[in-house]
Amino acid sequence: MKEKKNPEKKSGKKSTSRRDFLKKGLLAGAGTVLAGGVVGSFNAFAQNGEKIKVLGSDGKVMTVDKSHLQEIGLKTEEEMQVAGREGIPGKKWVMVIDLGKCKNARLCMASCQHAHELKPEQHHINVLRMDRGGDTAPFFMPKPCQHCDNPPCTKVCPVDATFKRQDGIVLIDNERCIGCRFCIAACPYSARIFNWSDPKDKEKYEDVEYNIELNVPQKKGTVSKCLFSADRLREGKLPYCVSACPNGVYWFGDANEDAVTNGTTKETVPFKKLLKDNAAYTLLPELGTKPSVYYLPEKDRLFPFEYEGKSDLEDKHHS
Amino acid sequence: MSEVNKEGTKKTIGTIVSDLTRPIKNHKGFTIWILFLLTVMGVGMMAYVDQLANGLGVTAMRDYISWGLYISSFIFFIATALVGMLISAVLGLIGIKWITPIARIAEMIALGFAMWAGLIIIFDMGRPDRALNLFIHGRLQSPILWDVTVVTTYIAISVLLYLLPLIPDMPFLKKAMTDQAKWKQKIYKILSFGFEGRPEQYKSVKKLIRILAILIIPVALAIHTVTSWLFALTPRVGWDSTIFGPYYVTGAFVAGGAAVMIAMFVLSRNYNLKDYITDFHFDKMGKLLVLLMLVYFYFNINEYIVPGYKMKAGDDHHILGLFTGHYAKMFWTVQLGGLIIPIILLLFRRMRKPLPSLFIGIAVIIGAFFKRYIITIPTLVHPHLPIQNVPEEFHSYWPNAWEWAITMMAIAGAVLIITILAKLFPIIPIWEIAHEEGITNEEMNKYVEES
Amino acid sequence: MTYLNKIKIFIFVFMFMLFSFSINAQWNIPADAKNKKPPVDPTHTLVKTGKDLYKSNCASCHGTPGEGNNIAAIGATDLGSGDYQHSHSSGQTFFQVEQGNGGMPSFRDKFSSDEKWCLIFYIKSFDKDFKITGEELKEQKADLRLSLIEKIRTVKAYATTKDKSGKEIALEGADVQFFIKRMFGNMQIGEIVTTDNKGIASIKIPENIPGDEEGNLNLLVKFKDTDTYGKAIKSKTIKWGTKLEIVNITDKREMWGSLHRVPLWVLFSYLGMTIGVWLVIGYVVFQIIRLKKL
């Protein structure tokens, strides 16, 4: 499943393992001499197993003994790859975004960038100023990856680096991505970004075990995208953006359970009824992408449209 | 000079061999030309090494306009390479005689550009170190995999289609090149594959050429159709078109035709082969190019009038951007200077003379290069949803020095391949010219056997 | 370098936009708003109503008053703090609820005037000097028992409490809520039911509620007024949900699937064409090598 690591990483690992080997050898030797038995050397081995860097559930990098991973409830990179590609059986994640409640607070963007170690100009979720033209009123629209059921991006990926799992999430494996950017070109929602140069805090995350469900560490020359916070869902928690919103914009849940939970009020309501009662729609339905993200129209707005002190849309004809 | 075969002044096999092999032996300015190409490639290589070290961020491409000059050059290279199929296969199969002296030139162009097209894709990759993933994890549903397959196949067939007509020339080369370096003679010996001019051998070579000429037609159509599908299979404004396949193929013939015209002029003048590539050939090639350009023009009308008439949401931004907006200057320069004006000019006999042909060919090929740019970039500048909350440089694109240097390396590399082939082997098939001059196989064999 | 600079400028702009909300939140409260007085005196019942409103509408930003768990980054203040209490009269708070400002939405249409005053009573109740009249609400620990009536898909909740002598008696007039446990929270089923004179609140479980693979639903029942009746939550697994059929969408052969799920027509077209062409190429190469023997 997992492909080979890039050369520099490999060589880095090799040298540490060689050092470990020497250390083990010395300790083993010392153990044999001091304890005069096999038992001593065995203990020395056990305490000096391969050290690896992993991400804790709080997102902090820690160095742990590989053999201790399971005790602290963490997985190796290989295990994360297998589980990450599989997805969570029986789930179909959906998001509902209530446009009437968004006031461009951007806490969703900030928490997302923080969680996925993104640079300020990199957005997995982006709050757009939308304008339907004519005399219609402008509004704010948070735009994550739509996690389409007919995804144009995974269709074109030549190496299965971006793929759709059984719970509906479209993930990206940046240990496999070759950086051809075909998926970026194919995505009609501009939901994908690329690591054009070294990622943020490159040194800090060097050699850290890659978590495919968080896409951290980010890697130069690979694509990154919104993951519906697959790592949080595995823990039964709402996505980063959903829980960060102060205005009750996001509902998130499992369509198989027909329930979505508001990230702000924590209220849980029937999913289909929410869609029906509010005339929900999906983005660019004419493209047939079948998104998993639904939008509730910007009706009964809680906030006026204000941007940089202006209440009107300045760049009415965007770019 | 303007006649096809100068009746009465019938060439002997001796003159043909010495005429066509002379440029291989001595050639003024060859070293300087090679050094020039290597310098251009060296600069590009430096840019590429920097790109490898620092990532694609050294280019002007960013998240929204994430494909740039590399991809548009890739289509240009594939397009130019397609001419090998048109000239040596299609025209050859329907028995058109005047292509004999230029078929090999077309095949050389096909080889040089197809090979560098493959490399350009690697230059565009964010992780070229993982290129092998295409074979380890390749997804058959991805057009990129189809492209990789079909480009490899096309290169293989083009090599054979270049090599096969060369085999009967080898005995002449072995004989004429005894004063040349040992390694060259060794190459000629190996590439002769034991060909000694026996009738069965001629028959076999002709049969194999015919097989390949038929085989290359679907493969060549596939290579450029698949390349067009890299765009047409995405739901993006400006790419989401059903005529992209034929639109690209006809455009490719225009680019390749122009490339052949330029190569004809440069090689015939430089190699002093005016007796073989005559005004007649330029006239024919000019007429062929007009025909190809008219077909391409027809597809252009379809490609732009249809969305331009409806002005659907999304299409409107795209079309207006091309017609009157940010890309208008380039669009109209390319369409007028690279297509419409050349069509009109080439209708006149005087414009189909060698020198005017050269300039028209240059205009058409530059137009063809930037036409690919026009096809690739404006679509990316107008995504379905607005580009917001990103730095100013994410909103627009113009290739920077790195991209130009690396693209120039690719062009120089393709020209280098053509140059080296033209230096190692005759650019005009000796045996086919001899056959056209009415020289029999026996006469040729006798000439080879004479010491 | 210029690229770095641009990024820096961008970070600055971004941070500015983030914090501009706190700048925006400069309240411009007209002087006469201060004098606006509630139409009634605050009672414990009204404060309680206000508390419920606060929990579901305000707490997500302002947190629990006095505990400092408000989201300061977006300009939401802790309404229980001494600072706020001293600088804002009831009328001023009323104005703020009505108008909204910056990050805070306007609740003019969302709440009735009475509701707004209840909310303000609750907020003001964190001021030591604030006088609340009327009877204090008494705690009355209560308990719930559940029973199921399979035939009519009905859940009955018996609410009981203890009288002064400690004897268990039926609790009348208590609001009971029924929930189904979901992935990220509990989804209320039907309306809130008030217990009758036998202490019974019953609800019919609608059909078509998706359960797990066996059709099991995890039912939760609790009192709405947890302040009075305590936080007793009773749960029960009921089998009245629809069975979940786990369909793995990645098992199908799709254009978007992995290599192992390539549509057969793609596989065979690709292999057929590629093998066909390369066989011919192989034949030609073979014939070239054989040329010597001819």
Same-domain pairing of A255 and A187: yes
Q: How far apart are CA C158 and CA A162, in angstroms?
A: 53
Same domain, A118 and A223: yes
- pLDDT value at A302 more than 50: yes
| Per-residue pLDDT tens over the stretch C42-56 | 888 888 888 888 887
> Are B195 and C291 a contacting pair at CB < 8 A?
yes
Q: What's the domain range around A28?
A: 1-49
Mean pLDDT in residue range A63-72 = 75
Listed as ranges, residues in chain C with pLDDT below 70 are 1-26, 73, 102
- Asked whether the beta carbons of residue B391 and residue C285 sit closer than 8 angstroms, the reply is no
The residues with which A269 forms a beta bridge, in sequence order, are A260
Considering only CB atoms, which chain C residues are within 8 Å of A269? 187
Altogether, the residues listed in chain A come to a count of 319
CA-closest candidate to residue B263, choices B88, B56, B102 = B102
Question: Which residues in chain C are closer than 8 Å to B211, comparing Cβ atoms?
Answer: 280, 283-284
B350 or C63, greater pLDDT: B350
User: Is C131 within a domain?
Assistant: no
On the question of pLDDT at A27 being above 70, the answer is no
Q: Which residues of B touch A289 (CB under 8 A)?
A: 235
**Is C136 contained in some domain?**
no
Query: Average pLDDT, whole number, for chain A?
Result: 83
Same domain, A33 and A104: no
Burial class (CB within 10 angstroms; exposed 0-12, middle 13-18, buried 19+) of A237 = middle
Residue of C nearest to B141 (CA): C255
Q: Is B127 on the interface with C (CB under 8 A)?
A: no
| Chain C residue with minimum CA distance to B167 | C288
- A121 and A258, same domain (yes or no): yes
Tell which C residues from 3 to 22 touch B, by Cβ distance under 8 Å: 3, 6-7, 9-10, 14
Q: Do C45 and C117 share a domain, yes or no?
A: yes
| pLDDT at position A13 over 80 | no
Q: What is the pLDDT of residue C4?
A: 54
> Would you call A121 and B394 a contact, using CB atoms and an 8 Å cutoff?
yes
B356 has pLDDT over 80: yes
Q: What is the pLDDT of residue B418?
A: 94
Residues C153 and C115 in one domain: no
Domain boundary among C204, C220, C238: C238
Helices assigned H by DSSP within C112-229? 113-124, 226-229
Tell me what pLDDT residue A28 has. 45
Q: What is the pLDDT of residues A139-184, one digit of tens each?
A: 999 999 999 999 999 999 999 999 999 999 999 999 999 999 999 9
ipTM of model: 0.91
B273 pLDDT above the threshold of 70? yes
- Cross-chain residue pair A154–C256, CB shorter than 8 Å: yes
User: What would the pLDDT profile of B217-270 be if each residue is shown by its tens digit?
Assistant: 999 999 999 999 999 999 999 999 999 999 999 999 999 999 999 999 998 888
Tell me, what's the pLDDT at A38?
A: 41
Helices (H), A151-246: 152-156, 182-186, 230-234, 240-244
| pLDDT bucket at A312, cuts 50 / 70 / 90 | low
The B residues from 235 to 264 touching A (CB cutoff 8 Å) are 235-236
C11/A270 CB distance under 8 A: no
Confidence at residue A61, expressed as pLDDT on a 0 to 100 scale? 79
SS3 C104: strand
**Stated length of chain C:** 294
- Per-residue pLDDT of B118-140, as tens digits, reads 999 999 999 999 999 999 999 99
The tally of domains found in chain C comes to 2
User: Contacts from B43-49 at CB under 8 Å and sequence distance 24+?
Assistant: B43/B405, B43/B408, B43/B409, B44/B405, B44/B406, B44/B407, B44/B408, B44/B409, B44/B410, B44/B412, B45/B409, B46/B405, B47/B401, B47/B402, B47/B405, B47/B406, B47/B409, B48/B123, B48/B406, B48/B409
- CB neighbour class for A253 (10 Å; exposed up to 12, middle 13-18, buried from 19): buried
User: Rounded to the nearest 5 degrees, what angle is found at the Cα of B290, between the Cα atoms of B306 and B115?
Assistant: 85
CATH number for the domain spanning C226: value is 2.60.40.10
Q: What is the pLDDT of residue B279?
A: 93
Distance (Å, rounded) from C-alpha B226 to C-alpha B337?
28
Residue A242 domain-assigned (yes or no): yes
- Answer yes or no: is pLDDT of B50 > 90: yes
Question: By residue range, what is the domain housing residue C210?
Answer: 142-238
Amino acid (1-letter code) at residue A233: L
User: What local confidence, expressed as pLDDT, does residue B394 receive?
Assistant: 93
Check if C285 contacts B (Cβ < 8 Å): yes
The mean pLDDT value for B399-407 works out to 96
Question: What is the per-residue pLDDT for A311?
Answer: 62
Domains and CATH numbers, chain B: 13-442 (1.20.1630.10)
Question: CB-CB: which of C281, C284, C294 is closest to B200?
Answer: C294
- Same-domain pairing of A260 and A154: yes
Q: Do A258 and C250 touch (CB under 8 A)?
A: no
Look at residue B333 in the predicted model and tell me its pLDDT.
96
- Please state the rounded mean pLDDT for residues B60-79: 95
CA-based nearest distance B155→chain C, Å: 11
**Residues forming a β-bridge with B57:** none
Identify the residue among A190, A219, A222, A287 best suited for mutation to test binding to B, counting B beta carbons within 10 A and taking the highest.
A190
Q: Is A189 in contact with B385 (Cβ distance < 8 A)?
A: yes
Give CA torsion, residues A259, A264, A266, A272, to 10 deg. -20
Q: Which residues of A touch C209 (CB under 8 A)?
A: 258
How confident is the model over A193-243, as pLDDT tens digits?
A: 999 999 988 888 888 889 999 998 999 999 999 999 999 999 999 999 999
CA–CA min distance A163, chain C (Å): 7
For C12, which residue in chain B has the nearest alpha carbon?
B391
Task: State the total domains in chain A.
Answer: 2
The Cα A308–Cα A306 span in angstroms is: 7
**Where are the alpha helices (H) located in chain C, listed in sequence order?**
2-24, 44-57, 59-62, 82-87, 90-99, 113-124, 226-229, 264-290
